[in-house]
Structure 1
């Protein structure tokens, strides 16, 4: 009984101490206790870099004035419609035009179907692939790359005014009597192409007031033969009647080869000439960018009368002027053209509704300031190099023009000398004839005088008739000899005149041969200079492309390095946070162990106190014994 009473309080105390310890441990494990220190902030080096300032949005497109548009389209306005479509579309890819030109120089032996198959393997736009069949056109575009880029930007942002300007220039050429049907071209009135379906994702274009009003009639130009295309060559300053100023920086190059029946002199006279025909049959049509895949929609006149009234209904898509590719509206995906009327980049979504806000491209990661400065410096160097190329090309053109003028002056002087020599020869012949006539007249007078003297002598000396007859015969013989001598002199003079004329003709032929040889040398020099210019442009284009690739590679490397540094910083910050968490966990465990030890010590002290209290209580309940007797246990 005593044992049970002694053990019951002890068990109760142990239970109470264990519950108290469990509650203390549970309180230590709470995450919201203020005793746990907060994680230390990350060092400044591990912080994410501040975003670079957003690049300024490109300015809204402003169309050039009408006169500048006329100058811009004058070199190609009289091309066949399908070729105009290819030129306008290809002009939005000036870098690919330069690359295709260099590729053609390297593959000059490719012709026809082999050329089309090889071009189809290149990573170019369909319009650039199609232009490889028309080398003179591609040469003009690559040789005037600033003009090509300006034409591409104008068409991309404002196709209506560009195509209206083409129609205006065709009207001028027609009024001047230069644009009419011939054996190479067929001129007719425009009509909407069959099976034309506008593209649903046409890019937004300039929608302000019209810069060039559409003419009352549209003119189409097609090849006279469906499978052979002759590209007209003409001087854009002279072909339209009134002189048209040349677009700044544009240099016209006369054709090297012309079709039979045409000559380069026709271009100088303000007329058409044609190069060799290009066959556009099955060799090109087996690819989806062939000749018949392209066309032009000049629009509907009733929808083309735009004005400043913005409340008018927008014309339907089929009524807007556009280049047609495979029976649908051609849409350029060029990344070179960045001037958009809605201030967005060209690779933005095409299906934005009218009035929708532009995408925020500034939120994308931008290049660090040193890389921006390096890229801007490279762009400035490229612009300076292009300016130097243009200046060199202009100097070359001026030198060629000066050489042509000097050759013309030399030919004029030679013609003047030849004319003077002919006049001197004719005058010498006239003088020789006059001298021969005068001599013949003198001889006739002398003969008449001699005959008169003989007659008088015969009448006076009749008795001596026989000797006189002999004398008369002698005189007649002498007269015949004199006449024969005169005839011989006349023949000698005539032969001498003929020899002089033959010698003059030989000298003229020699001069003509020398002139022809000089013309051939000049033409060879011009061709060599053009070839050198093409090679130089190709080398410069390749150098620019290499520079761009190097800049892009450097940018990628810098971005990768920056990302690697950021990853390292993030990993270091994570390691630091992990170490801090582990340290905090160890501190918490140590605090918990220390608290448990304190609780155990408190429990032991409580247990000892309880034992002492129990012993004291037991001693207090025991009865007193007799003196001298040991205490007895209470039953």
Structure 2
């Protein structure tokens, strides 16, 4: 009996020591273990099962901008023709390709019309980016405001309905202010569903929350006045809509090069009026490719479906960009909200997670664009962030496992102490008549067990202290690594900012050169127009002089004819007078002859009365 009582506390004490030591050793081993294969802790299997692979934190759901932010975002392009709006919205989902296409156009500035379209068709770009190469001012605007372009593309990609409703709201404002109306370059009308439009059955999921911008009661369409010539309107987005609209943060408006005759740029901007550049011919040169001007359109939806959060409208009633009579679906991996991969027209899905972004080719023999380095830096930053997230998750798991182990050890010790007390109490009740020696031995064993427990508690405290120090060192190292990563990111951001500034300076220099070229071309055109106008004025003056000379000659001829007629009339009058005089003279002569005959007859008669009758056959004799 004495032996069993003596061995029982010692065995129990040895068991407790071994358990605590195993727990401490397991905790120490977990400090140096890799995150991918942690050692299992003495806990339920469901809680101790390690994750199959470390994963980054789940991305947050898409949060759409406010209505005012959407108005600011779409203000620079809301008054473009519908087909151009479709190309801009689709191209904005590929900001990296916009930058690449802008640099490629600068390197191939001599390409025009059909050769430009053929060369763009060889590039690995989205059809929307290829079609935008025909509209260099628009591409300049998008590349020069790349942050705005990316924000526009992200908004359209995730929430096309609110973006396109915001465009209609801005058109309604411009129309109410009297700025949007028919002219010789644009035609404004009521919207209708495009002909032969068939919504795509595999559209990507989009924002389905409450409507940010309700559709207006009537939609407005804008089309070129000439079917084969497109004039891109240029306007100040802050003034064109009547009430001033705040400029989207970071957006830089470039005033137009060409203005209306008789007005300065300042006058046109202050008046909030349209200006137009040279027309872009969109005939056979672009239509020989399937991404030409007529391949694009816009479906503005149906005004009656106003409460999108109450009832989902049918596919044909949802606003969408239309490409080749079907819903356009972007395959961009740049503006996606990191929730899904999408595909377009049964094409392969986007790049897998962690894959480098595509490096878009430039013209043959030319250096690659700068956006490849920028994309590589972004990829490195993303990998660093993922690695840091994995390290933090592993550190948190390690802390949780250590805390669980410590709690389990404490619970085990408490249960063992409680069990020992219960056993001692039971023994005391069973053997109240124990001799003093046995009680003394039991007390000594109990004291030894308590001392051993205290030593183990101190050892465990030291182990926990070392563990806390290791955790502190690990946290300090993680902070230092995070600080180094932040400094590296800052350096990379500074390099990117410097590269972006250099690129912006190059773009500004190129734009200034183009502006100068356009100004020179405009001046030459104005000079030609002035020369043509002067030639027309001179020709008109010469024609007036000839007409005046002819009129004067006609008047002189008429005067001569009138003089001749007067002379003829005078001659006729003289002839008539002479004839009258001759007739009068002849009449006078006849009268005189008659009078003479009468006098002669009278004299003969008188003589016949005075002489005597003569002899027969003898003539009468005249009286003396």
Going from structure 1 to structure 2, the CA distance change for 1:394 and 1:125 (only over 3 Å counts) comes to farther
Moved more, 572-581 or 207-216: 572-581
Mapped to 2, the partners of 1:516 and 1:5 lie a distance apart of 78
Q: Where do 1:77-476 residues align within 5 Å?
A: 77-257=78-258, 264-267=265-268, 268-306=270-308, 312-339=310-337, 378-379=380-381
Going from structure 1 to structure 2, the CA distance change for 1:48 and 1:85 (only over 3 Å counts) comes to same
Mapped to 1, the partners of 2:461 and 2:24 lie a distance apart of 173
Task: Answer yes or no: is the 8 Å Cα contact 2:125–2:360 preserved in 1.
Answer: no
By how many angstroms is 1:315 displaced?
A: 1.3
String of CA shifts for 1:586-625, please: whole Å, max 9, x gaps. 9999999x99999999999999999999999999999999
Gapped regions of structure 2 (runs ≥ 5): 427-437, 560-567
By how many angstroms is 1:61 displaced?
A: 0.5
Going from structure 1 to structure 2, the CA distance change for 1:280 and 1:510 (only over 3 Å counts) comes to same
By how many angstroms is 1:21 displaced?
A: 52
Mapped to 2, the partners of 1:97 and 1:283 lie a distance apart of 22
By how many angstroms is 1:232 displaced?
A: 0.2
Task: Answer yes or no: is the 8 Å Cα contact 1:266–1:273 preserved in 2.
Answer: no
Do structure 1's residue 564 and structure 2's residue 545 form an aligned pair? yes
Going from structure 1 to structure 2, the CA distance change for 1:381 and 1:371 (only over 3 Å counts) comes to farther
Moved more, 574-583 or 339-348: 574-583
String of CA shifts for 1:412-466, please: whole Å, max 9, x gaps. 9999999999999999999999999999999999999999999xxxxxxxxxxxx
Mapped to 2, the partners of 1:356 and 1:611 lie a distance apart of 152
Mapped to 2, the partners of 1:54 and 1:607 lie a distance apart of 157
By how many angstroms is 1:262 displaced?
A: 7.5
By how many angstroms is 1:301 displaced?
A: 1.3
Going from structure 1 to structure 2, the CA distance change for 1:446 and 1:241 (only over 3 Å counts) comes to farther
String of CA shifts for 1:86-144, please: whole Å, max 9, x gaps. 00000000000000000000000100111000000000000000000000000000000
Aligned twin of 1:586: 574
By how many angstroms is 1:292 displaced?
A: 0.2
Going from structure 1 to structure 2, the CA distance change for 1:291 and 1:419 (only over 3 Å counts) comes to farther
Going from structure 1 to structure 2, the CA distance change for 1:504 and 1:283 (only over 3 Å counts) comes to same
String of CA shifts for 1:233-262, please: whole Å, max 9, x gaps. 000000000110000000011123457787
Going from structure 1 to structure 2, the CA distance change for 1:244 and 1:38 (only over 3 Å counts) comes to closer
SS at match of 1:503: helix
Task: Answer yes or no: is the 8 Å Cα contact 1:343–1:358 preserved in 2.
Answer: no
By how many angstroms is 1:53 displaced?
A: 1.5
Q: Give TM-score scaled by structure 2 length.
A: 0.49
Mapped to 1, the partners of 2:327 and 2:359 lie a distance apart of 28
Q: Which one of the candidate residues 520, 536, 547 is aligned to 2:500? A: 520
Going from structure 1 to structure 2, the CA distance change for 1:512 and 1:422 (only over 3 Å counts) comes to farther
Mapped to 2, the partners of 1:159 and 1:543 lie a distance apart of 42
Going from structure 1 to structure 2, the CA distance change for 1:124 and 1:114 (only over 3 Å counts) comes to same
Going from structure 1 to structure 2, the CA distance change for 1:271 and 1:333 (only over 3 Å counts) comes to same
By how many angstroms is 1:365 displaced?
A: 36
Going from structure 1 to structure 2, the CA distance change for 1:219 and 1:518 (only over 3 Å counts) comes to same
Going from structure 1 to structure 2, the CA distance change for 1:290 and 1:602 (only over 3 Å counts) comes to farther
SS at match of 2:188: strand
Going from structure 1 to structure 2, the CA distance change for 1:360 and 1:339 (only over 3 Å counts) comes to farther
Going from structure 1 to structure 2, the CA distance change for 1:539 and 1:557 (only over 3 Å counts) comes to same
SS at match of 1:583: helix
SS at match of 2:370: helix
The two structures, once aligned, show a CA RMSD in angstroms of 51.1
SS at match of 1:199: coil
Mapped to 1, the partners of 2:99 and 2:500 lie a distance apart of 29
Aligned twin of 1:483: none
SS at match of 1:29: helix
Moved over 6 A (4+): 1-51, 259-262, 341-377, 380-454, 487-494, 498-528, 532-567, 569-592, 594-635
Mapped to 2, the partners of 1:38 and 1:500 lie a distance apart of 27
Mapped to 1, the partners of 2:127 and 2:553 lie a distance apart of 52
Do structure 1's residue 596 and structure 2's residue 583 form an aligned pair? yes
User: What number of residue pairs does the alignment pair up?
Assistant: 594
Going from structure 1 to structure 2, the CA distance change for 1:302 and 1:111 (only over 3 Å counts) comes to same
Mapped to 2, the partners of 1:490 and 1:295 lie a distance apart of 61
Going from structure 1 to structure 2, the CA distance change for 1:249 and 1:74 (only over 3 Å counts) comes to same
SS at match of 2:143: helix
Going from structure 1 to structure 2, the CA distance change for 1:448 and 1:324 (only over 3 Å counts) comes to closer
Moved more, 192-201 or 268-277: 268-277
Task: Answer yes or no: is the 8 Å Cα contact 2:186–2:223 preserved in 1.
Answer: yes
Aligned twin of 2:481: 501
Going from structure 1 to structure 2, the CA distance change for 1:389 and 1:534 (only over 3 Å counts) comes to farther
By how many angstroms is 1:370 displaced?
A: 27
